[in-house]
Amino acid sequence: MRYFVAVAERLNFRRAAEALHMTQPPLSQQIAALEEELETVLLVRDRRTVRLTPAGECLLEEARRILANLEIARQRVKDVGAGRTGRLRIGFVGPAIDGPLSADIRNFRRKHENVALELHELPTAAQLDSLRSGDLDLGMVRLVGHDASDLRCEVYHRERYVLAVPGDHPLAGRQSVTPADLDGEPMILFARRQNPILYDAWAASLADSGARLFVAQEAATKHTAVALAAAGHGIAPVPESTADTGRRGVRFIRFDGNIPPLELHAVYPPKSISPVRDAFLRSLDTDSGREKSA
């Protein structure tokens, strides 16, 4: 088809062959083969001139449209393969979107305007199930005792815990605390049903240090926990980044000792093919500079 358009637009076999970077005899053979396939004459040629027949004029119009659509299709396929367009379904836990994920998504949207992002807030266990069933392309999770051995896991974000205490609390003057310092202290913690594995990890951390866990108040988010601590309702372990909130009436103290790790992981099926997911993961490396590991 491309050979025919080259000849039809120039009405000269020699110039068409030069434009196609080929010799004239093979070009003439291609046109003859096309006419034989279509069972009609497309070009009338003599020693001096080449003219389109009515069938040739019709084919030229259709061929131009076909070739234009083919180029559009070729570019779309390349864009999909490079992750420049498509759909990306991301699951996330609250600490991820409260932390770096919000800015990372915004940066990705700005550079990938043709990617449709679907965002789903789900507990870690539900995300792992959705990844296995194919309902998610990528999960931003917190792995604490979860079995994700069949999935690929990359460290997305690390930070440490601090302890939020009221400004007039006896611990407020300390530089650091350990789980042993929290024996019987009224603590502000999430409900166990919200994350049973992590809750039990905190309980075990205190028990291993000889301290008793006393949950005086449940709080669904770290921001609520800090606000309650400022109100004098108890003390709360929160991510270190929470100290940047500028909340008055509360102090943030370094939390040392054997406590649950605060790591977020990017998780996805190892054999799945998703160029947009791979583009998103590359953008995390480029934009944030965070270390990734398998």
Lowest mean pLDDT among 162-166, 174-178, 266-270, 287-291: 287-291
What is the reported pLDDT for 262? 87
3 state SS of 19: helix
DSSP state of 235: B
pTM of the model: 0.71
- Predicted confidence (pLDDT) at residue 173 exceeds the cutoff of 60: yes
Q: 150 CB contacts (<8 Å, ≥6 apart)? A: 132, 270
What is the reported pLDDT for 294? 36
- Please check whether residue 123 is in contact with residue 93, taking contact to mean a CB–CB distance below 8 angstroms: yes
Give the Cα separation of 12 and 28 in Å (integer).
11
Q: Which of 14, 22, 9 is nearest to 52 (CA)?
A: 9
What is the reported pLDDT for 169? 94
Domains and CATH numbers, the chain: 2-81 (1.10.10.10), 85-157+263-288 (3.40.190.10), 161-255 (3.40.190.10)
What is the reported pLDDT for 286? 52
Lowest mean pLDDT among 88-97, 114-123, 225-234, 236-245: 236-245
Residue range 44-87, pLDDT digits in tens: 988 789 999 999 999 999 999 999 999 988 888 887 887 888 99
Q: 10 CB contacts (<8 Å, ≥6 apart)? A: 16, 19
Q: 46 CB contacts (<8 Å, ≥6 apart)? A: none
What is the reported pLDDT for 24? 92
DSSP state of 48: S
Residue range 96-105, pLDDT digits in tens: 988 889 999 9
Give the Cα separation of 153 and 141 in Å (integer).
9
Q: Return mean pLDDT, the chain.
A: 91
Mean pLDDT of 191-210: 92
- Please check whether residue 265 is in contact with residue 153, taking contact to mean a CB–CB distance below 8 angstroms: yes
Give the Cα separation of 268 and 271 in Å (integer).
9
pLDDT range class, residue 288, cuts 50, 70, 90: very low
One-letter-per-residue 3-state SS of 120-188: EECCHHHHHHHHHHCCCCEEEECCCCCCCCCCEEEEEEECCEEEEEECCCHHHHCCEECHHHHCCCEEE
Give the Cα separation of 230 and 105 in Å (integer).
31
Mean pLDDT of 138-152: 93
Give the Cα separation of 282 and 108 in Å (integer).
10
